[in-house]
Chain A
Amino acid sequence: MSTPWPAIQLTINGETRCVNVPPMKRLLDVIREDLHLTGTKEGCGEGECGSCSVRLNGELVNSCLVPALQAQGANIQTVEGLGREDELHPLQVAFLKHGGAQCGMCTPGVLMAAAQLLENTPNPTLPEIREALAGNLCRCTGFTRIFESVAAAAEQEAHHAR
C-alpha cells in the first residue's frame, strides 16, 4: 500500500529504521504500532506518568508528547535496548533482586529514567534518585524498592568500574 507520508529515519536500540507516518503522530505510537516495540507503555497520554519514557539523543523524554517528526535522525533507546536476557543491564539485575518491579507497567519508563540518571550521576544520593524518578509514577511499590534497586545498580556499576 502506498502512503502519502514522508519517510522518517531513526535509530532505535542501535538499529536504523525508516517509517512512513504522519509527522504529528506520537512517537509513542510510532514505537508501539510501527516499530512493534511494545515494552514502552502508555499510562496517561499527557506527559504526567512517565510510563512512555524513552531516551532520545541522550535526553529522557515522554514519548507521548514527542511528534514523530522530531525523531527524524534521532538516536532512541527503549527498554528493549537496555539489556538482553543473557546480558542484563545492572539495573535489570537489581530490580529483579530488590523487588523494584511489581505490576511492571511503570517499569520500562522507570528503567529508562534510572539509566539516564546513572549515566550522568554514577553515584546518586537518595535525593538525587528521588528527583530523577519524580516524573515516573508507580502505584504499586511506594518507591522504596525502586530507590533500593537503583542504588544497588549504581553500587554494582561502581564495583565493576574499579
Chain B
Amino acid sequence: MSSQSPSRVVGSSVPRKEGLDKLLGRAQYVDDVENKDFLYGATVRSSIPRGIIRSITFEAHINWSEFTIVTADDVPGENRIQLIMADQPCLAEGVVNHCEEPIVLLAHPDRHKLRDAVAAVRVEYEPLPAIFTIEESERCEPVIWGDNNIFKQFLLEKGDVDSVWPSAAHIVEREYHTGAQEHLYIETNGMIAEYSNDTGITVWGSLQCPYYVFKSLLRVFDLPDSKVRVVQTETGGAFGGKEDYPSNLACHAGLLAMKSGRRVKMVYDRMEDLAATTKRHPARIRHRTAIDARGKLLAIQIDLDIDGGAYATLSPTVLSRATLHSTGPYVCPNVRVRSRAWATNQVPYGAFRGFGAPQVIFAMERQIDEIAATIRMDPVEFRRRNFLHQGDTNATEQLMREPLILDELLDRALERSDYYGKHNRFARENATSPVKRGIGIASFYHGSGFTGSGEVYLNSQAGIDVTVEGKVRVLVSNTEFGQGTNTILTQVAAEALGLAYGDVEMAAPDTGMVPNSGPTVASRTSMVVGNLVERASRQLIDTLRSEVALGQNYTRAEFFEACEQYRGMHGNVQSLCHYQAPPGIHWNDETYHGEAYGAYAWGVYVAQVAVDTTTYSAEVEEFWAVQEVGRVLHPVLAAGQIEGGIAQGIGYTLYEKVVMQNGRMANNQMTNYIIPTAEDVPWIHVYFEEIPFQHGAFGAKGIGELPHDGPAPAILNAIRNATGVPMNSIPLLPEDLYARLAAREAEEEPAIR
C-alpha cells in the first residue's frame, strides 16, 4: 500500500458516512435532543413592517413570574448580528424595520404554554411609511437604510459598450424578473443554548457555518474566544438557509439561557420558519445586447437590481456573485454590468443555493433565446458561435486556462435528449393538439469557491489527526447537511493516506475541537476544503517518512505503528494546512477585474415541457443535465446533488411563489407554498464529463450550486418553444401562464381577423 497507489476510495460510491444513523432513525437532530431540565423559548415578533416601538406591555392574565423574559436591554455586548455589515440588531431596539423582526424572547419549562404567552405581549407602535419593492426603494421615498437605500453596488466594465450601439446589426432589449424562493429544508431552524459564568456560552444547533455563529456570539455576549463554543447537530437540509439565520437564533437562545441560568431550546414551527427567516433574493434584470450580422455578441449591458430586504445580511456577496455570473459562458468584447442591492422593509433575503447566479443565468439564457429569435438563428447555433473556449477571456477578463468543453457538453445534451428530433416532432404535433410540447436549452457556468480574493481573506485551516484508538479524523468546521461533506472528506483523506474508507472518520463539528476551515457554502467544500485535507494527509505521510522512517510502501499496520512512534516523540499526531491560492490568481476588488474564481463548473441542460392550453399548467416531462465538474469523487452523491438541485430549480420555475402582503408572507404553510412532489419531478438524466482540476481535491471542482442554475431558463425556453410566447418572469404558475397567453391572444386578435 502506498499513497501513490491508483485511486481506490475516491471515485467509488461508498456508503454515506452517517447513512446508517439516518436510516435507523437514530441520527440526533436538534429537536431530538431532550432533557427534563430544558426551558423552551419563543419569540415575540413585529406585526408591522416599519415603525417606532412606543411600549411593550404584558397582559395580566398570564403568570409572568413563571417566564424568563428577554429584550434588547438584556444584551450584554453589542446588539448586532455580525455578518458582512453589522446592521441587523439581535433584538429590535426602539424601531422595527420589517415584519417578524424579533422584539421580545420568552422561555418556560412547558413548551405548550408559550403560544398564549407570546400572544399576551402587546407591542404598541407608531407606524412609519414602509417600502416593499425595488422600484419604491429606488425612488428613495422614504430612505430607510444609509443615504440612498443601497446596500452595495458594482460596476463591471470591459471594452466600451457605448461605441457599439450605433453600428450593431441588431440590438435586443428585454426585462426579466425572478421571485423569492423559500429553502424549505425539511428540518426547521432550531438551537439549544447553555450559559455559565465559568464556561461561557455553548450552543448546539442546526447550522451550516459554526464559525459564523461563533463570531456573532462573541460580540453579542462580549466574551473571549475561549468562552464561546458552537456545535452542529445533525442538520436536516440547509441549501444556504442555515448560513446566516442560525447566528440570530443562537444569540436568542443564548440570551434566554444566560438570564434563566437554564438550558434553553428553541425550535421554530414551520409557519414561523417560513415567515421569519431568509429567502432567495427577488431580482429585476434588464438586458441590452448588441449582435453583429454574423450572430456574434458585440456588447452586453445589464442592469441588475436585487431586493435585499431590511438588513444587509449577505446581500453584498450575493450581488457580487450575481454580477460575475450575469453575462454567461460567452465571449463578448464589450460588457457593462451595473448592479445594486436595495433595502426594503421585507424580511431580509439571504443565501440560497446558487447565491445570485440562478437569477442572472435565467435572464441571460432567456435573453440568448430572445436574441436568436430576433435574428432568426437556431438558439443552439447562436450559443455555439459565442461560447467561451480555452484561451478566451470572460467579462472580468479572466483567461480561461483550463480545458473548456462547452461544445462537447452541448453535443452530448443534444444527442441524449434527441433535441432536434423532438423539436421537429413537437412543431408538427402542436398544430393540432391542445397540449403544446416544447424543448429548451440552457448553457452556463458556476464559479467554485469564494469570489475573487475571498478565499485568501478566509485563510481556511483544515487537517487530520490520528487518535490513540487508531482512527484518522478529519478536522474541519465544514458541516454535513445532506450534501455529503462527511463522506467526501473522509474519502479524500483515506485516498491520500492509502487507508480504507472505514479507517477515517469526521471529528465532531465543534468549534472547541476543529479549526476554522471556512463556511460550508459556495460550492467550496470538495474543491477548496477537500484540497486542504488532501494536502494535510500527504504532509502527514511526508512527516512520518522523515521522522519515523515510514517506508515508501507501507501497510495499514505500519502506518498506525508509525503514528504511535510519532506520538511518543511529539505527544499527538496532527497535520494542518492553510489555504494557498493557486498560482496566477489575481483579483482587483476596485475594478472588478481578474480571476473571479479559481475554477468553474460547466453545464448544458435540456428541458422537455408540456403546456396544457386547457388547464394552463406546464409540466416538465423529462430533463437532461450534462456537466463538467472536474473529477467526480462519489458518483452516487454527485448525481444526487444534480437531481436535487434540478428539482429545486423546477420548483423555483413552476411551483414556488412567495406571496408577500404588506411585508408579510401570506402563504407561510406547506399547504400553500408548493414544492415539487414525487409525482411532479420528471425523470432526470445526469451525465458527467470529467476533467480533473489540478488545484481541487483529487481533481474535484464545485458541484452543489450548479444544478440550480440551469432549470429555470431551460424550462422557460422550452415553454417559448411550445407556445411561441416569450415568458420573462418566474415563478410561472398556471395563473401566470394564463395571464401571459391571454394577453398575447388579445394582442394578436386583430391580425387574425
Q: Smallest Cβ distance from A87 to chain B, in angstroms?
A: 11
Residues of B650-706 contacting chain A, CB below 8 A: 669-671, 675, 677-679, 681, 683-684
Binding stretch for chain B, among A2-10, A39-47, A67-75:
A39-47
Interface pick from B13-21, B414-422, B450-458, B505-513:
B13-21
Indicate if the CB atoms of B269 and A45 lie closer than 8 Å: yes
| A88: B residues at CB distance < 8 A | 23
Point out the residues of chain A lying under 8 angstroms from B669, CB to CB: 44, 46, 48
Interface presence of A154 (CB below 8 A): no
CB A98 to nearest CB in B, in angstroms, measures: 7
Bound Cα distance from A134 to B680, whole angstroms? 9
The CA of A54 and the CA of B439, in the complex, are separated in Å by 41
Instruction: Flag if A96 contacts B186 (CB, 8 Å).
Output: no
Residue contact B270 to A136, C-beta cutoff 8 Å:
no
Give min CB distance, B161 to chain A, whole Å. Answer: 39
The residue in chain A whose Cβ has the minimal distance to the Cβ of B27 is A104
Decide yes or no whether B239 CB sits under 8 A from chain A: yes
- B186→A49 contact, CB < 8 A: yes
B25 near A78 (CB under 8 angstroms)?
A: yes
- Of the candidates A49, A78, A96, A142, which one forms a contact with B23 in the assembled complex, judged by CB atoms under 8 Å apart? A96
Report the nearest A residue to B651, measured CB to CB.
A139
Q: SS class of chain A's interface: helix, strand, loop or mixed?
A: loop
State whether the Cβ of A16 lies closer than 8 Å to any Cβ in chain B. Answer: no
Q: Which residues of B contact A134 (CB under 8 A)?
A: 677-679
A102 near B644: Cβ-Cβ < 8 Å? yes
Of the candidates B23, B236, B643, B645, the one whose C-beta lies within 8 Å of that of A103 is B236
Please provide the chain A residues from 90 to 123 with a CB less than 8 Å away from any CB of chain B in the complex: 92, 95-99, 101-108, 111
Q: Which residue of A lies closest to B273 (CB)?
A: A44
Measured CA separation A37–B32 after assembly (Å): 9
Q: Mark A120-162, 1 if CB is under 8 A from B, else 0.
A: 0000000001110111111111111111000000000000000
Q: Is B184 an interface residue (CB 8 A)?
A: yes
| A80–B87 alpha-carbon span in the complex (Å) | 46
Residues of B within 8 A of A85 (CB): 20, 24
B22 to A, closest residue via Cβ? A104
B26 at the interface (CB under 8 A from A): yes
Q: Which of B615-642 contact A (CB under 8 A)?
A: 636-637, 639-640
The reply to whether A145 and B186 form a contact with Cβ atoms under 8 Å apart is no
Q: Is A57 positioned at the interface, with any CB of B under 8 Å from its CB? A: no
Task: Decide yes or no whether B515 CB sits under 8 A from chain A.
Answer: no
Q: A48-B670, A48-B671, A80-B24 are in contact. Are A142 and B646 (CB under 8 A)?
A: yes
Judge whether B15 and A97 touch: CB under 8 Å.
yes
Name the residue of chain B whose CB is nearest to the CB of A132.
B678
In the complex the two chains form, is B25's CB within 8 Å of A79's CB? yes
B495 at the interface (CB under 8 A from A): no
A130–B670 touching, CB < 8 Å? no
Known: A44-B270, A99-B640, A105-B29. A142 touches B647 (CB 8 A): yes
- Classify chain A: how many residues form its interface, as a range: 35 or more
Question: Is there a chain B Cβ closer than 8 Å to A63's Cβ?
Answer: no
Given A131-B679, A142-B646, check contact A40 B25 (CB 8 Å). yes
Residues of chain B contacted by A108 (CB below 8 angstroms)? 25
Whole-angstrom distance from the CB of B626 to the nearest CB of chain A?
16
B483 touches A (CB below 8 Å): yes
A107 to B184, CA, bound (A): 15
- Once bound together, how far apart are the Cα atoms of A37 and B28, in whole Å? 11
User: How many angstroms between the C-alpha atoms of A98 and B14 in the bound complex?
Assistant: 10
**Quick check: is A58 within 8 A (CB to CB) of the other chain?**
no
Contact present for B677 and A99 (CB under 8 Å)? no
User: From residue B368, how far is it (CB to closest CB) to chain A in Å?
Assistant: 25
Residues in B neighbouring A138, C-beta threshold 8 A: 186, 678
CA distance A162 to B745 in the complex (A): 60
Chain B residues with Cβ below 8 Å from A141 are: 640, 643-644, 647
Known: A102-B483, A141-B643. A45 touches B13 (CB 8 A): no
Does the CB pair B16–A101 fall under 8 Å? yes
Report whether B644 and A44 are in contact in the complex, using a CB–CB cutoff of 8 Å: no
Contacts A41-B187, A80-B24 known; A104 to B679 CB distance under 8 Å?
no
Interface pair B25/A95, CB less than 8 Å apart: no
Pairwise interchain contact A92-B23, C-beta atoms closer than 8 A:
yes
A99 contacts B26, CB within 8 Å?
no
For residues 28 through 42 of chain A, which have their beta carbon under 8 Å from a beta carbon of chain B? Answer: 32-33, 36-42
Minimum C-beta distance from B625 to chain A (A): 10
Contact status A103-B237, CB under 8 Å: yes
Q: How far is the CB of A80 from chain B (nearest CB, A)?
A: 5
Nearest residue (CB) in B for A107 is B22
Chain A residue contacts of B311, Cβ below 8 A: none
Check: B564 CB closer than 8 A to any chain A CB.
Answer: no
The distance in angstroms between the C-alpha atoms of A110 and B647, with both chains bound, is 17
Q: State in angstroms the CA–CA spacing of A82 and B684 once bound together.
A: 30
Contact in complex: A144, B684 (CB < 8 Å): yes
Which of A36, A40, A105 has the most chain B CB atoms inside 10 A of its CB? Answer: A105
Residue from the list B183, B236, B270, B681 in contact with A104, Cβ < 8 A: B236
**Contact A49–B185 (Cβ < 8 Å):** no
The 7 lowest CB-CB distance pairs between A and B, nearest first, are: A39-B25, A103-B482, A104-B22, A105-B236, A142-B647, A142-B643, A79-B25
List, sorted by A's number, 9 A–B pairs whose CB atoms are closer than 8 Å.
A51-B186, A80-B24, A92-B24, A104-B234, A133-B678, A136-B678, A138-B186, A139-B675, A142-B644
Beyond A97-B15, A135-B677, 20 extra complex contacts between A and B, CB < 8 Å? A36-B34, A37-B25, A38-B32, A39-B24, A41-B186, A46-B270, A48-B670, A95-B19, A96-B15, A99-B637, A103-B185, A103-B236, A103-B482, A104-B22, A105-B186, A111-B23, A143-B678, A144-B643, A144-B684, A145-B643
Residues of A within 8 A of B (CB): 32-33, 36-46, 48-49, 51, 78-80, 82-85, 88, 92, 95-99, 101-108, 111, 129-131, 133-147
